[in-house]
Amino acid sequence: MSTRRRVLAVTALSLSAAAGCLEDTVPDDLAERLPGGREGPDDSEARRDILTDYEAALEARNAGIEVRDRGIEHFNVEAYAEAIEAIETALDDFIAAEEGFEDAMAGASDLDLDRVHGICADAAENTRLQVEATEAGLEASTAADEGADADSINESIMTYQERVEEAEGIPVADGETVAEELGF
């Protein structure tokens, strides 16, 4: 078969698939090899991956907040070693969450899902600010543990508080909202 005939055959097959005519014109084994089979491309697996990434990131972010808050409680009672340990754990959680939200955002971008992309972008930005807040909390705890002066400790505390307040101004949607936007 000439190249021109192959191109015409593939074009006709593609147009038939788009028009929903494959059931009558294409053998079952060929239809199964086409992207999405008889119904056309199916991006449900990619959508599930976005949701899985988002929910895992959300879980890590929420764990980071809980553990960091515990670290701040330790800091407030001058248990600096315990504060440092908890805050370091929280920092790992926030970093993992930020990466997960960015992965979900990239997946949404690949599928041209603008609303989901925006939700993921907000969550990633919120979490980036949580990372900065947690780093400042870690600096304050480490400085206090090392006996630094109050001014340097207070500077880190101020940065911590500012970043937490900024983060609170950026909404983070729950997994159900993202699932709905993805069509689940």
- Cα gap 27→10, rounded to integer Å: 14
Q: Domain residues for 142?
A: 44-181
- Cα gap 116→179, rounded to integer Å: 9
Helix axes 150-168, 114-145, angle to 10 degrees: 160
The least confident of 5-9, 23-27, 96-100, 156-160 is 5-9
Q: Answer yes or no: is pLDDT of 11 > 50.
A: no
Tell me the per-residue pLDDT of 25-46, one tens digit each, with 9 for 90 and over. Answer: 444 543 443 334 434 458 999 9
* C-beta of residue 151 within 8 angstroms of C-beta of residue 82: no
71 and 140 fall within a common domain: yes
Domain count, the chain: 2
What is the model's pTM? Answer: 0.77
The per-residue pLDDT for 42 is 84
138 and 65 fall within a common domain: yes
76 and 125 fall within a common domain: yes
109 and 30 fall within a common domain: no
